[in-house]
Amino acid sequence: MEKILIVEDNRDMQFLLSNILKSEGYEISVAGEGRKALKEIKGLSANLVLLDIHLPDMDGMVVLKEIKKLNDDLSVIMLTAYGEIKGAVQAMKLGAFEYITKPFDNDELLIVIKRALQAQSLSKEVQSLRKELAEKTAPGLIEELAGESQPMKQILKQVDIISPTNMTVMLQGESGTGKELVAQLIHKKSQRSDKAFVAIDCGAIPESLIESELFGCEKGAFTGADAKREGKFEQANEGTLFLDEITNLTNLAQMKLLRVLQEKKLEHLGGKKDIKVDVRIIAASNVDLPDVLKVGRFRSDLFHRLNEFPITLPPLRERKDDIPHLVNRFLEEARKEFNKDIKGFSPKAMEALIDYHWPGNVRELRNTVRRAALMAESDKIVQSYLLLDAISENHSDLDKLSEKLDILTELKKGFSLHEIAKKEIDNIEQTIISQALSLTGGNKSKAAKMLGIDRTTLYARLSEHGLK
């Protein structure tokens, strides 16, 4: 039976409301004062509250705010006189479901109550489904991240410690080590698991659009902004926002991000109104942040704000004990995807997988297993299907190019006043970048990664050398 708390100081109105609701089968509790109502709510599992806007000891608006603090999911319907509509509308902004004006029509009151209870029931069902989904997906994430190695056992222990808190997490590790998987697992194991997990790759969005992507924009804020739109912070409100490759943010975006984290509010690009946000931040970087701080590419105050709980993910070459576990998991995925009956890997193939240095980490391992499963013509995957020799050859060439690029960068600093020498160095650098692009099939992200620089730096050097 659904329980309704009537918060009304007028005895006649108490009596009227009680009779109407009891006749419809509702269980009723009555409070004539705001403080008594709040005490009732703490100890009573009410489904709905009918709250008068005027009470002898407390303003109805204050009572509404306190109710929402105690139980934000509890539906509240305001009771107000006809001339107090403005206050009732304000109450809805504070979280009231609806308002009813006195004198009210009995049927109208019952319809509004039924609607409020249905909405509450639907909300609980959605939360339950989200929780159920989180419980089902968390083990899958753990299985994908887990292994026999001590480094990964330590990572999962850190995840268990930090997940129930609201602390900001900074994930560091090479590309492909599973930073987003760890971020998802932290969210799934947190108290925000029934809310949104929103991810954004800060390096994949043009500098001109990153602020509107993060903080939203008003119509006409810039060319092409033909409508008002929410940013990632609003989409992740009450949930988790994952900021991947955070070192690619511009200095202005870093400054605005710091302000939002400190004040828990933001302004749309082109807007003037403050918008409150409650978001847990998990940031990630594939470069060593202290090194980035030294060269002034990242704000130290933002770094310390984000670095409340750092987690460093080890590269796959440092946890080779996990490779058999991961290989078998990825093979099971590939079997289902390609509908192939593959029993496993030959001993030599497994040995090759364990011995390989995996510069692309877990992501590269998954791609290798999927490709080999697709190519396999029997129930065993043999070494030739892995294509690791060809991959190693390219990586070796690129490693050499990366070393050359580092040397040239240092030489440039020393020859800043000698234009002829600098021009010669530029020509060599241009050749190296061209070779890297050739070896990676024109893939700029991959070329940047293999040269040991971020994509922003690569684009700057391409522009400097007139390359596309």
Tell me the pTM: 0.58
Read off the amino acid at residue 428: I
Distance CA 288, CA 292 (A): 7
Query: pLDDT value at position 93?
Result: 79
Each residue of 376-435: pLDDT tens digit?
A: 888 999 998 888 865 554 454 444 445 445 545 544 544 443 444 455 556 667 777 777
Positions in the chain whose pLDDT score sits under 70: 44, 82-85, 125-147, 389-428, 439, 441, 450, 452, 468
Q: Which domains does the chain have, with CATH numbers?
A: 3-123 (3.40.50.2300), 162-314 (3.40.50.300), 317-386 (1.10.8.60), 392-464 (1.10.10)
Each residue of 219-277: pLDDT tens digit?
A: 888 877 778 889 999 999 999 999 999 998 988 899 999 999 999 999 998 888 899 99
